[in-house]
Structure 1
Amino acid sequence: MKRKFQINGISCSGCVNRVKKVLEALPAVEKTEVFLNPKGATIITMKETLTVDELQKQLDNLEGYTIEEIKK
C-alpha cells in the first residue's frame, strides 16, 4: 500500500539518500520515494501499515527530520 507523507528537514540529495536508507531499513517498508520538488514530498510503499509515530521513531536515528502524513 502506498501512503503520502511530508518530511520536513530535507534540503539536498544527501538528505534524500539518508532518509530513504533509514526508512527502507524497516522490514515493513518496501520502497521509499523522497522528492526535492516539492521539497520533502514522500511516497512510502509498505508491506504492512506503520504509524507516523513508528516512522518518526526511525527518522529520529537521524537528526532534524520530522514526518507527517498527507491526508487526501
Structure 2
Amino acid sequence: MKRKFQIEGISCGGCVTRVKRALEEHPAVEKAQIFLQPKGATIISMKDELSVDELQEQLNKLEGYTITEIN
C-alpha cells in the first residue's frame, strides 16, 4: 500500500538520503520516495499499515524532521 506524506525539514539531497534510510530501516516500510520538488513530498510503500506516529517515531532517530499525512 502506498500513502502520501509531507516531511518538514527536508532542505537538500543529504536530508533526502538520511530520511529515506531512517524510514526504510522500519521492517514494515518497503520503499520511501522523497522529493525536493515540491520540497518534502513523500510516498511511502508499506507492507503493513503504519500510523503517522509510528513513522514520526522512526524519524525521531534524526533531529529536525516532522511527518504529516496528505489526503
TM-score of the aligned structures, taking structure 1 as reference length: 0.98
Q: Does 1:34 align with 2:34?
A: yes
- Number of aligned residue pairs: 71
Higher strand proportion, which one? 1
Structure 1 ranges of 4+ moved more than 4 A = none
Aligned to 2:54: 54
User: What are structure 1's unaligned runs of at least 5 residues?
Assistant: none
Q: Does 1:8 align with 2:18?
A: no
CA distance in 1 between counterparts of 2:17 and 2:33 reads 10
CA distance in 1 between counterparts of 2:22 and 2:28 reads 12
TM-score of the aligned structures, taking structure 2 as reference length: 0.99
Alpha-carbon offset, residue 65 of structure 1 = 0.1
CA distance in 1 between counterparts of 2:34 and 2:47 reads 18
Aligned alpha-carbon RMSD (Å): 0.2
